A = this chain, B = another copy of it.
């Protein structure tokens, strides 16, 4: 490809919205352009990278035994409703109505459609496992797209789905995908950390996320020296005993000055640390039901953990002052029991004797409150966010570290979440109908590209791994106004291309050496060749790796051989 002909050149600036390195570099180097917030065009350079990434993913996914197909983008809403998944996705799901009034969702994930497809064939045990995948455009109406290709509203996803006789059979395929994802990450030169995670809107029990650690990650994972890694949403940590040695004292209602409302007010008034107080955080579920999370004062509620313990069907939103007023209370005065609400308690409630708080009124509050004796919640479990330095819930010894990361891929053990409501059955050996056991497996293509750039760049630009570089060689021609040099450069370009190498040839006659070198660094092709009047006089070209500063002189006649060996 002649750079002069390339559609989508480099630009000096990426604008002030591109704060993340991959976003800025992909824009500046001419890989992507934004059409609207969270929706990007892949320019010819970007599409070349995307196709390489796609082919790497395809190769390893096919190795799991998966067969490629493609389902429509618009899914009948009624299928999602049948599977009870329409509310789960909440506001991120986009809907469209056709000329006849039929409602569709824009594919955000395809479990329901794949289950419906499998249901069109009379599946027997002989057909199982079924393992299929596709590359297709996905739509998620993210509230806050950010970081260029890191979090978008529209993207190509490799989504795979498997159907099994039972969980034992799923596990085999699940492990194949696990291996495939490790292999894909390796080919992309990405270091991934596999973490347990919550299935969220997809449904089911267990899942794993393949995380790439980077400071620009919007997710947080916990890591322990014992080897335990988890998503923040599932991180197990020990609630340490605060004062269980103290005897439980009788519950008392005590006078309290009217100004004592917040945690800070309480500390000022009682002089005890945060861990001695009861704290309430109030939510509303998608049916309008008020949910009160009760937790030790020094901990924060993790909404995903809370939703899981509660078994929430849709989004949990923070309750408003109006919601509290309807309960007959106000911020800072919420009681740990007695309101017409669903109460969900954290494990930490059992680590303290004689809690302060729980029944705040204008000039009184309760003290010496003990969980199990004085109040109990309908639901009780792990709803607290792990924090840096918490004791690992697995080894029970080492301290957890919190690390920023990006979710690169995920694998879900979703069990009967879809086959149950959608009657996804197979005929077993004995002729009986049984429910299909299901798994699903996703990798976002654009995000994978962004991960590679985040972990492979320097101040000057991108440093592509060879496996996904848009071209093999960046040939820079200087002094091309000399016909002799231009001829030699074009001849070399043809030789390299004819040998099977993909070459980007900077043939611009009017750009300076500085501009050409800067553009080559920005674009990030692993190998740079320079041909100029001077090099030609010596019968050589200058060879430089993007990842190194040293320059090697290669005889023009042996360049092809050198590069191909």
Contact = CB atoms under 8 A, between A and B. Distances in A.
Contacts of A99: 91-92, 141, 143
Nearest to A127: B7
A73 interface: yes
Contacts of A381: none
A41 B69 contact: yes
Given A7-B130, A106-B96, A117 B41 contact: yes
B71 A41 contact: yes
Task: Identify whether the interface residues of A are mostly helix, strand, loop, or mixed.
Answer: mixed
Contacts of A40: 72
A350 interface: no
Contacts of A71: 35, 41
B36 A132 contact: no
Contacts of A42: 69-70
B126 A9 contact: no
Contact of A68 (B44, B113, B117, B127): B44
Interface residues of A, number: 55
Contacts of A70: 41-42, 47, 50
A96 B116 CA distance: 25
A8 interface: yes
Nearest to A510: B126
A113 B47 contact: no
A74 B121 contact: no
A4 interface: yes
Nearest to A156: B70
A121 B9 contact: yes
A36 B76 contact: yes
A433 to B, nearest CB: 19
How many copies of this protein are present in the complex?
Answer: 2
Given A68-B47, A69-B8, A70-B42, A35 B130 contact: no
A116 B36 CA distance: 11
A95 interface: yes
Contacts of A98: 94, 141, 153
A102 to B, nearest CB: 7
Contacts of A35: 71-72, 75-76, 113, 116-117
A378 interface: no
Contacts of A50: 70
A67 B139 contact: no
Interface in A109-152: 113, 116-117, 120-121, 126-127, 130, 132, 136-137, 139, 141, 143
Nearest to A44: B67
B36 A121 contact: no
Contacts of A95: 96
A69 B44 contact: yes
A73 B139 CA distance: 9
A6 to B, nearest CB: 7
Given A154-B73, A154-B74, A67 B6 contact: yes
B74 A8 contact: no
